[in-house]
Amino acid sequence: MQFVRLKKLAGNLLAVGGAAVVVALFLFAFRYDSDLQQPVRRRVVAAAVEHGDPFPRTITDYYGDALTLERAPQRIASQALTIDHFLLATVPPGRIVAMSNYARDERYSFAVQEAQRADAVVATDVEAVVLRDPEVMLISHSARADQVDLARSAGIPVIRLLTIFDDFDEIAEQLEAVGRVTGEDEKARAAVAQMRRRVAAAKAMRPADAKPVRILALTVYSSSYGKGSLFDYIVNELGAVNVGTEQGLGPYGQISAEQVASWNPDWIVAGAENASIEEVRQRMLKDTAVLVTEAGRTGQVLVVKNREFLTMSHHAVELMESLARAIYGETK
């Protein structure tokens, strides 16, 4: 009986969102270890060079493997959507020969137009990737070992990058790392600077005398985000309280309908398919576990696009902006 009511709500979200959301959120949930805990954090060493240093450059990846690039690579392959986002923010699309299967999907990608301009194959099609002869392939630190082995056995140089982040500093570090790998240092720094300006503007929406509001994230897996998650960092930066952290959750944890009701958040945040946001919101507002909370009674349920709710790139600032607008309004 523990999860029955919240699972019913999750079923409603899935019914509205469709199978594609199931796949995306399943992948999101299991970006952590099999027990849904955060992986061991390592200091990210992205590149053993200073900004603007000429090639050759020796890059040290997330797992400590070094790769020397004789020149800025002109044929680049990406295995993960987060890395797609970093590349599409820093290099011309014509230099990208492979991307994740989400890069051109507007439900999850923030750079669909740029991705469509790239003559790129899907990274999971190993044979097609090999035929494109990439000079380097950027792979998530959490990718399966066989993906790395296949690429290397085909003679493709591999650099593994962190793609799960605790905060915007880590995102900036990896975005700048992509700039150093590709030789696009200036563009990477510009993208980071823009992200930081938007973060500052979102934080400035909070009135000086605002009392901390309590915010709970809900996913279709009857779960929420707590300490160590990017969601937790965003909420804290906005001067609010992440209910998941308040109640002792780690980065990703299961919760019950009874907990949602008893924790009584001021705001509830969820993600949905682009065309179903209001329908999902109305379904949540009618759910018993939500209805009895302050969020449910006052209608303070924010449903954003899945790409905002799930992204682990610099585009996560959009979730921060949506939250700030919801809880503080457009201006102080």
pLDDT digits (tens, 9 = 90+) for 96-154: 999 999 999 999 999 999 999 999 999 999 999 999 999 999 999 999 999 899 999 99
In a domain, 195, yes or no: no
Sort strands 253-254 and 158-161 into parallel, antiparallel or unpaired: unpaired
> Each residue of 288-305: pLDDT tens digit?
999 999 999 999 999 999
In a domain, 180, yes or no: no
In a domain, 71, yes or no: yes
> Each residue of 210-248: pLDDT tens digit?
999 999 999 978 899 999 999 999 999 999 999 999 999
Contact yes or no for 292/124 (Cβ under 8 A): no
In a domain, 198, yes or no: no
CA separation for the pair 286, 13 (Å, rounded): 12
**211 and 308 housed in the same domain:** yes
H/E run at residue 173: helix 168-182
In a domain, 73, yes or no: yes
Q: Can you give the pLDDT at residue 60?
A: 95
> Each residue of 73-89: pLDDT tens digit?
999 999 999 999 999 99
CATH code at 126?
A: 3.40.50.1980
Cβ neighbour number for residue 41 with a 10 Å cutoff: 11
Of 133, 163, 193, which residue is a domain's last?
A: 163
H/E run at residue 176: helix 168-182
**133 and 229 housed in the same domain:** no
Of 110, 129, 163, which residue is a domain's last?
A: 163
Cβ neighbour number for residue 26 with a 10 Å cutoff: 11
What lies within 8 Å, CB to CB, of 16 at 6+ separation is 272, 273, 276, 279, 280, 283
Mean pLDDT of all residues in 1-30: 40
H/E run at residue 324: helix 317-328
Q: What is the pTM of this model?
A: 0.86
DSSP characters over 68-114: EESS--SSEEE-SHHHHHHHHTTS-GGGEEEE-TTTT-TTT-S-HHH
**34 and 61 housed in the same domain:** no
CA separation for the pair 84, 141 (Å, rounded): 14
Q: 137, exposed or middle or buried, with CB in 10 Å at 0-12, 13-18, 19+? A: buried
Give the model's confidence band at 51: pLDDT under 50 very low, under 70 low, under 90 confident, else very high: low
Phi-psi map region of 154: left, alpha, beta (phi>0 left; psi -120 to 50 alpha): alpha
Contact yes or no for 122/142 (Cβ under 8 A): no
Q: Which two tokens stand for residue 280?
A: 């999902």
Residue predicted with more confidence, 16 or 139: 139
**145 and 225 housed in the same domain:** no
CA separation for the pair 17, 114 (Å, rounded): 25
Q: Which two tokens stand for residue 89?
A: 């923010």
Cβ neighbour number for residue 87 with a 10 Å cutoff: 30
CA distances from residue 217 to 232, 234, 319 in whole angstroms, order as listed: 9, 12, 12
Residue 65, domain extent:
57-163
**69 and 151 housed in the same domain:** yes
What lies within 8 Å, CB to CB, of 113 at 6+ separation is none
What lies within 8 Å, CB to CB, of 3 at 6+ separation is 222, 254, 256, 257
**221 and 323 housed in the same domain:** yes
**139 and 214 housed in the same domain:** no
**260 and 293 housed in the same domain:** yes
Site of tokens 């510009």: 190
**124 and 27 housed in the same domain:** no
**316 and 232 housed in the same domain:** yes
**61 and 35 housed in the same domain:** no
Q: Can you give the pLDDT at residue 46?
A: 45
Instruction: Inform me whether the pLDDT recorded for 30 exceeds 60.
Output: no
Q: What is the dihedral of CA 93, 99, 102, 108, to 10 degrees?
A: -50
- Tell me which DSSP letter residue 49 carries: S
**309 and 265 housed in the same domain:** yes
Burial 224-234 (b: 16+ CB within 10 A, else e): bbbbbbbbbbb
Contact yes or no for 32/252 (Cβ under 8 A): yes
Of 102, 129, 163, which residue is a domain's last?
A: 163
Q: Can you give the pLDDT at residue 22?
A: 33
Instruction: Inform me whether the pLDDT recorded for 18 exceeds 60.
Output: no
Domain count, the chain: 2
In a domain, 175, yes or no: no
In a domain, 229, yes or no: yes
Mean pLDDT of the chain: 87
**% of the chain with per-residue pLDDT over 90:** 80
In a domain, 185, yes or no: no
CA separation for the pair 10, 111 (Å, rounded): 28
